[in-house]
Amino acid sequence: MAPTVADVRSVCEELWPSGDAEAWDVPGLVTGDPHAEVRRIRLAVDATLDTVDEAIAAHADLLLAHHPLLLRGVTSVAEDRPKGAVVARLVRAGCALLSAHTNADIVETGTSAVLAERLGIVDARPVVASARAGRGLGRVGELAEPTTLGRLARLLADLLPPTASGVRVAGDYEHAVRRVAVCAGAGDSLLAEPAVLASDVYVTSDLRHHPAAEARESARVAGGPALVDVSHWAAEWLWLEVAAGELRDRLPGVEVAVSDLRTDPWDFTVLQ
């Protein structure tokens, strides 16, 4: 007998406890019948019209998205609105939607931990530790061999799936790098953390003009890291295959696949 949506939700709760999510976050079951059977699961960073259509075409019974579809206030799910169109397509197809967001960021095999491991960071620890040992936001540690900022940026460009925005860097190409802090996803809230300030470089996404500019000016006065800004989607996409493997281990007989559709919002860049 196939597991149900409720069973999958319980497994996800074991892997990524919703109680550990940030207070503003809303992970969990978004749509779907808890009693429906699940034989195929699809994973994506975002529940978009394209990833939903892909999941439906693959006959998935459940789409696990990293980002919650209804994170902010929604007053309508009419089908002439994007969130309404997504919900309607899922409901009609009988495909449940479940999200694991900041509760999946902080675990030992979460988004930042995967990025740190792929970069070759040794003995990575949280930038901001949570109550549970080994868990928390971001990761920081040292590379097995020192490198330069330029080479690290090149490694990231080769490691991450390609996007229009590529890899943006603030700092000297030959800047020596040994200690690296990372936060997969939007990470400007960690710019002032002691572990970040003590690093040679901070790798994250969605760095806005003013926080990034202030961080670079502060580094000139009091020391601080170079900055590397990568695609939010690309950095978190690396985690999906790890999450899929954990689901396969706990749900034998269920087909679990990762979407490689790009949900980064940008299509092309014009260089000046």
pLDDT digits (tens, 9 = 90+) for 80-134: 999 999 999 999 999 999 999 999 999 999 999 999 999 999 999 999 999 999 9
Determine the structural domain holding residue 20 and report its residue range.
5-101
Q: What is the pLDDT of residues 228-237, one digit of tens each?
A: 999 999 999 9
What is the number of structural domains in the chain? 2
> What mean pLDDT value characterizes the chain?
97
Do 96 and 10 have their domain in common? yes
* Residues near 84 by beta carbon (within 8 Å), at least 6 away in sequence: 76, 77, 78
**pLDDT reported for residue 265:** 97
In a domain, 244, yes or no: no
Do 93 and 112 have their domain in common? no
Band of pLDDT at residue 73, cut at 50, 70 and 90: confident
- Segment 156-185 mean pLDDT: 97
In a domain, 261, yes or no: no
**pLDDT reported for residue 74:** 85
In a domain, 52, yes or no: yes
Do 111 and 60 have their domain in common? no
Q: How far apart are CA 65 and CA 99, in angstroms?
A: 5
In a domain, 216, yes or no: yes
Percentages of the chain per state (helix, strand, coil), in multiples of 5: 35, 25, 40
Do 118 and 80 have their domain in common? no
Q: What is the pLDDT of residues 207-220, one digit of tens each?
A: 999 999 999 999 99
Give CA separation, 189 vs 11, 253, 264, in Å.
30, 41, 21
- Segment 55-77 mean pLDDT: 94
Claim: this prediction has a pTM higher than 0.75 = yes
